[in-house]
Amino acid sequence: MPVHLVRHGEVDNPGRVVYADLPGFGLSHRGRSEARAAAQHLAGIGVDHICTSPLQRARETAAVISQATGAGVENRDDLVEWHLGRRWAGVTWEDIPARFPGELEAYLEAPTELDFSPESLQELAERIAGAVQEVAAVRGAGESVVIVSHQDPIQAGRLALLEQPLNTLQANKPGHCDVITLEPGSPWRELAHWQPQVPGPPPAAWPPVTNPG
């Protein structure tokens, strides 16, 4: 059965800080609407089990999906954010260039070469891909599984499973509550990339390519 990778909904973060794995960052009003849209979409497909990052924004998203689908939820520590974020946690995206010169530019332009990160992109990709493969193996061919995590972890794991280069991290990243459907194989195959349609324009993202988290 396919595995559905879901990024959490938009976060209530008026200060535009890097929230990384800091406590207390739950879904915004728009984020809850995005989660309901994703839940409705997944309910139409059918979901048997949900695995989620234990961070609040992911757990809240998983809870909405669980309510709509009736699937149970399992917290997994290996689905948490990229540990890179811990270095910048609590700093606004706009202030990173002054506080950490050259690091945001490196993240955007050369994400495989971040010697300042406590976890390399390769290590992140292996962590997430390993978790997805383990869940798929344990749940077997008969269950439909949703995995709720964060933008860079989902993207890194996706690239690893599809055997695509990690230096393309910034291309076609999942937005809030996007659902990326993958089919196990060697390599895995991407079957669909669904995006929620929520009324009203989304806020401007920072950094310009997207807003990680």
Place of tokens 């879904």: 27
Looking at the annotation, which residues are catalytic? 8, 150
Alpha-carbon radius of gyration of the chain: 16
Q: Is the peptide bond before 207 cis (omega within 30 degrees of 0)?
A: yes
If one counts every other C-beta atom within 10 angstroms of the C-beta of residue 48, the result is 15
Supply 129's token pair: 């891909």
Ramachandran region of residue 117, left (φ > 0), alpha (ψ -120 to 50) or beta? Answer: beta
DSSP helix/strand/coil, 183: strand
pTM of the shown model: 0.94
The average pLDDT across 193-208 equals 76
CATH topology for 3-194?
Rossmann fold (3.40.50)
Q: What tens digit of pLDDT does each residue of 37-51 get?
A: 999 999 999 999 999
Residue-averaged pLDDT of the chain:
94
Given a cut of 90, whether residue 104 has pLDDT beyond it is yes
Q: What are phi and psi of 95, to 5 degrees?
A: -90, -10
Chain segment 183-193, per-residue pLDDT in tens: 999 999 999 99
How confident is the model over 166-192, as a mean pLDDT? 96
Q: How far is CA 121 from the centre of its chain?
A: 14
The DSSP symbol for 113 reads G
Which of 71, 76, 56, 78 is closest to 124 using CA atoms? 78
